[in-house]
Amino acid sequence: MFPFQLKVVSIPVKFNFRQIKNREIALFEGPEGWSEFSPFIEYNNKESATWLKAALEAATKPAPKLVRNEVAVNATLPTIKVDQVSTLLASFNGCTTIKVKVNDFVNDHLLLQEVLRHIPGAKFRLDVNGGWNLEEAIANLRNYLQEFPDQIDYVEQPCLDIADLKSLRQTVKIPIAVDESIRKYLGSDLTKLKEVADVAIIKWAPTGGFSSALEVIEKIQLPVVISSALDSSVGISHGLSLAASIPNLYGPCGLATTALLEADVTSKPLIAENGYIKNRRIVPDLIEEFKAVPARQSWWQDRVNEIYAEVSS
């Protein structure tokens, strides 16, 4: 039986993010404070167990030693329409690095043009989620580089295949960041990623928490960007603690994503101010306001009990 009582909330999501209308999040309090367990609904027990490991560590063990008190953050644009760009950008105060979910150049270059209308000096991070094969990646990135020659910071996971990433890096002169190549293969030899990538994207919960993330970062030996998984401010606080402990940050981190939620579990949410977020603990004082219905409370309690029993046996 899981040793902590869950408090499950359901938070409305802005726009179109992962095709969900409400983000369900299970919160619990341990001796080191509040923590969050929020693997997406479709994740199986094995994948979710990594998130549970992170949640338990944050609730029961001290955060790593900090080397900074605040973390620079980027804005994140999910799959949205051009006329929605201005409204969403306003939620990321002071952010000039913009992560944009893209499918291809033809459909999505207008999003980048619209961002530059509002933030002329913006730098872009193109997030593909492994959606391109090698030929598509080469064609799309050459087009992006031609139209936005000085604005592309890096492309995140353009291809899933490692051989394709290596060929792409040799063909198109653009920095490559890897996300899925890390968190979906945590048990494999990640040292080889240095041959195909320039930046490592690390997420607190999907990587298994502070200790696991720091071990992975040490193995990969790449500059790091800490990102998030549509967390509440509780989860973001742990991502910030991780980011604040890492000397070799590449640049702004993807930790301002509470802006993609319509609300939060705290009256003092972690949001960007002048492009930064200060690292601080979060007490979720709005749990009752967004409490999930009893059936969903039971579903999450059963889920965490089952996963905890599997990892404890």
Please tell me the number of Cα atoms within 13 Å of 97 on its side-chain side: 21
CA distance 292 to 31: 24
Amino acid at 228: S
Q: Which of 46, 203, 268, 278 is catalytic?
A: 203
**Cβ 192 vs Cβ 181: under 8 Å:** no
Give φ, ψ of 224 to 5 degrees.
-120, 140
Q: What is the DSSP letter of 211?
A: H
CA distance 6 to 15: 28
- Maximum distance among all alpha carbons in the chain? 56
Is 101 a known active-site residue?
yes
Is 194 a known active-site residue?
no
Burial (CB count within 10 angstroms: exposed 0-12, middle 13-18, buried 19+), residue 282: buried
Q: Which of 53, 99, 101, 123 is catalytic?
A: 101
Catalytic residues: 101, 203
